[in-house]
């Protein structure tokens, strides 16, 4: 099949954002995004906004205003059924999020979460980390895309201002890549622990955002351990059970902090 020069176009991107592509279609779009950092950053930001909106609509208030509830249901149906259409652009989605901002705050207060912890709607970098993880696994099965297990920490530090940690001796590094993100360059390291499948550690700058303790979430069939400290966001992704992933994340947290100091 011959792809159009403008692939992926808005139609494919909208279908990707609305989970309307089959697996080969998703892989084709992700492969194209891996070659277009600017477009990939835009799509990852759209994914973050989409996920935040879906999270806000997942548990509606018990007795919301009837007109607002109707608008929220219509918007949710539009997201799930693709009724927003190709004409939906990022600005419209942002406006929808702003318009429903009160709903997010109500939900935060109703479950006893402080505004500071509201960022615990998983931060943007977790979606970027998942995108990098999928792309790294895709590279691993492509003969033309060679993994880079050997890497220069000093060169990565000079060019990204990200200090990679030392990995335990019995952990095997399989690939190290720099990926685009909304906040600038990020680094993803794919590795194995003894008796584990491939995992990836994703590191990206988060500026002056508040520290975030280690937390867990599920994305697709993967577990994600994530945290934020010293201006870096970190996500550890794998199919290991949550306890094993948390232990590995605790090791990485200590080594990243030691490396930063």
- Residue 224 to residue 235: CA distance in whole angstroms: 6
In which residue are the tokens 């004409």 written? 87
For residue 239, the model assigns a pLDDT of: 83
**How many other CB atoms are there within 10 angstroms of residue 184's CB atom?**
13
Q: Where are the alpha helices (DSSP H) in the chain?
A: 10-17, 23-34, 37-58, 66-81, 90-99, 101-110, 124-140, 153-160, 242-260
Q: How would residue 40 be classed by pLDDT, with cut points 50, 70 and 90?
A: confident
Q: How would residue 261 be classed by pLDDT, with cut points 50, 70 and 90?
A: low
Q: What angle do CA 180, 182, 186 make, to 5 degrees?
A: 40
- Phi-psi region for residue 151, left (φ > 0), alpha (ψ -120 to 50) or beta? beta
Query: In the predicted model, what is the mean pLDDT of residues 49-71?
Result: 57
Rg, the chain, Cα only: 19
Q: How would residue 66 be classed by pLDDT, with cut points 50, 70 and 90?
A: low
For the record, the structure tokens of 131 come out as 């995108």
CB 121 within 8 A of CB 101: no
88: helix, strand or coil: coil
Record the pTM: 0.56
């Amino acid at each position: 099949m011959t792809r159009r020069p403008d692939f992926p176009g808005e139609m494919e991107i909208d279908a990707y954002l609305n989970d309307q592509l089959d697996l080969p279609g998703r892989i084709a779009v992700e492969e194209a995004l891996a070659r277009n950092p600017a477009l990939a950053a835009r799509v990852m930001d759209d994914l973050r906004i989409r996920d935040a909106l879906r999270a806000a609509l997942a548990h509606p208030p018990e007795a919301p205003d009837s007109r607002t509830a109707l608008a929220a249901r219509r918007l949710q149906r539009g997201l799930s059924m693709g009724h927003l259409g190709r004409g939906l652009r990022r600005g419209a989605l942002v406006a929808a999020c702003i318009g429903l901002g009160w709903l997010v705050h109500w939900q935060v207060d109703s479950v006893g979460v402080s505004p500071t912890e509201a960022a615990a709607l998983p931060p943007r970098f977790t979606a970027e980390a998942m995108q990098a993880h999928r792309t790294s696994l895709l590279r691993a099965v492509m003969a033309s895309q060679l993994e880079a297990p050997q890497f220069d920490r000093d060169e990565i530090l000079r060019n990204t201002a990200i200090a990679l940690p030392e990995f335990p001796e019995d952990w095997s590094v399989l690939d190290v890549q720099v990926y685009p993100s909304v906040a600038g360059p990020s680094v993803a390291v794919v590795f194995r622990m003894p008796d584990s499948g491939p995992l990836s550690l994703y590191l990206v700058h988060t500026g002056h955002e508040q520290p975030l303790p280690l937390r867990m979430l599920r994305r697709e069939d993967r577990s994600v351990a994530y945290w934020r400290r010293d201006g870096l966001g970190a996500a550890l992704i794998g199919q290991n059970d949550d306890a094993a992933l948390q232990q590995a994340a605790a090791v990485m947290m200590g080594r990243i902090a030691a490396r930063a100091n």
